[in-house]
Structure 1
């Protein structure tokens, strides 16, 4: 164990046995301190939308094809010309030092080992450059929580580009924080500094609650901000938090290079729809004009399959990967992604699909 400001962080580095992704939560809860675990695991209000995110995958069924001459399914794919070994990617998630002493550095290393795509948060425990370096050249995206202070935004965007980020993810659904009762019950405050806040003079996040962190964030985000970010970064901009066809079209019309369908893992608007329930309608509106990333609720290989068959190009998740980080560091992260990819390959084989393109063209039945 490593102690930082009285907060105990696991520092194990080992591959872990994964029965399924759901089982990791209980194991991680044993070693992540209560406040940190509540922050990672919790959703907003009574967690209704958080639970619906995973339940929604039961609203459709995969139609398998036999006699299809398929063996050894291939999971490699690409986005923005970037080749990856799997369509499974790491969602941007804050403060991973709550789960492990090396935080995002180990996450980036484990994701790179799995041949997947990493995205890092503005509110990371480790700096943009250090997190990027840990991936040893593997592709990474940088997620921007837009600040009221455009000097702060510009500094982050320029550092991300200089460090080698391949795209910017603009989070649009977190202009205020959702009411997260687990943080209230635990009186949670961040015990570990956030490297980007420290470097660019917005405090360091240490000793603050999530509401105080969000107080510096922009409460107004509009279409014009997409162009401004593109002009500063010179990189593709993906708008995260889209949950309706209308917003997808608005973002594309404003210059967005990608759409990220997500409800923030049920951490923001409780009572909103499960992300999967809106994915196909968003995808129809987008009509292949830009790539679509999807997250919120992915826990099984069949979920990955269903999301891709509903219009996603990449499928992202965070909590189970962070639990793997807590249990085994970089190797734990690798173990989780490999297990989910193996489940996905099994689903591909049994559904009679050889490639990601085959999966995208698969038929789903609505219950």
Structure 2
């Protein structure tokens, strides 16, 4: 059930998960993940206002049900950039899946492939792109690029992802430096498991690094000319990940981007910026169907997927919930999470007379104004609850590495 890498506990579970909703998994994941690793996933920047607003803001939009539609058995199949998918729900890119499960990105890819969903892997992945591709050779996958200051590194990445069948690149521009993540500071988090691209290029650098140290290796200056250079050198479509307003959408398209990715990095960067779903309508209007729109941040319900599609998204990414599913159930757990979103989305489609995903994109949505909270982060001492201690989530005392930030038995 648990494997130890230098004392760091990694779940080895691979089982179907039963849930009423995906939010349940956040609490259960604490039982198998060390405290520092859990809060690396579960937290946001500063007071976490944007992190919370990403989910609560979906309540600003209301689905208008339709009656007498003479419709049944809606279908989730969709097409994106020439790829035929069984669902518009996709795996959003997140670093270091090995903090959730020993199978890491290989497990996530297997789960996504079993669900017929698009998978994304990060430059900061634990598993190699070769191992990920071998786990599901014919599955659709995109690669999230943290552009390096070192173009030799970038070219190594491009060569590897082309050889292993990646279909495109999400170019990250919303995390040029690390946001002020208090949970990481309080738990002294460092990446506890090697990151493959850094291991193969730098001989192991990546393990034991803080988030801020890892980001420091990335390019902080990214401009329109870089988009075309990445397209030319990779030979792959490039989406700009981190677009939250019309001006940047125009700039991205003008720079030759093949699509835009609307996200605020899950509330992990600028605390106080709008919820991503509140940015989506403006960006979708600016894009005007000239290029596809991808969306993530705060998606916790099938109704959230429905609303995002109706507000202009073509694909809707999920993040933290699939990592909890990976921790609790491996590849089967990841598929279970996607299945839960699909189950809820299908119900909303049937109740609104939407036979296809294309119908959802034309569904009627209402909007109301809202107020916001001003709570401190969940890891603030005034709010933080005792972390559970189980036999699965503790460091082995004789192998513990103090730099990992994991709690010791």
TM-score above 0.5, yes or no: yes
Could you say if the C-alpha distance between residues 202 and 242 of structure 1 is closer, same or farther in structure 2, counting changes exceeding 3 Å? farther
Q: Who is 1:338 aligned against? A: 339
Q: Who is 2:89 aligned against? A: 88
Q: Who is 1:119 aligned against? A: 120
For structure 2, list consecutive stretches of 5 or more residues without a partner in the other structure. Answer: 369-409
Q: Who is 2:69 aligned against? A: 68
Equivalence map 1:36-51=2 (5 Å): 36-51=37-52
Q: Is the 8 A contact 1:21 1:299 kept in 2?
A: yes
CA radius of gyration, larger in: 2
Is 1:268 the equivalent of 2:290?
A: no
Shift, 1:128, TM fit: 1.1
Name the SS of the counterpart of 1:256 in structure 2: coil
Matches of 1:278 and 1:253, distance apart in 2? 20
Q: Who is 1:210 aligned against? A: 211
Matches of 2:50 and 2:235, distance apart in 1? 35
Equivalence map 1:1-367=2 (5 Å): 1-201=2-202, 203-367=204-368
What is the RMSD computed on CA atoms of the aligned residues?
0.8
Q: Is the 8 A contact 1:109 1:136 kept in 2?
A: no
For residues 231-271 of structure 1, give each alpha carbon's deviation from its aligned partner in whole angstroms, at most 9, with x where no partner exists: 01111101000000110110000000010000000001111
Shift, 1:88, TM fit: 0.2
Matches of 1:254 and 1:133, distance apart in 2? 34
TM-score, length-normalised on structure 2?
0.89
Name the SS of the counterpart of 1:119 in structure 2: strand
Matches of 2:71 and 2:225, distance apart in 1? 47
Matches of 1:174 and 1:60, distance apart in 2? 27
TM-score, length-normalised on structure 1?
0.99
* Stretches of 4+ aligned residues off by more than 6 angstroms: none
Q: How many corresponding residue pairs?
A: 367
Name the SS of the counterpart of 2:142 in structure 1: strand
Matches of 1:266 and 1:28, distance apart in 2? 20
Shift, 1:203, TM fit: 4.2
Matches of 1:252 and 1:261, distance apart in 2? 13
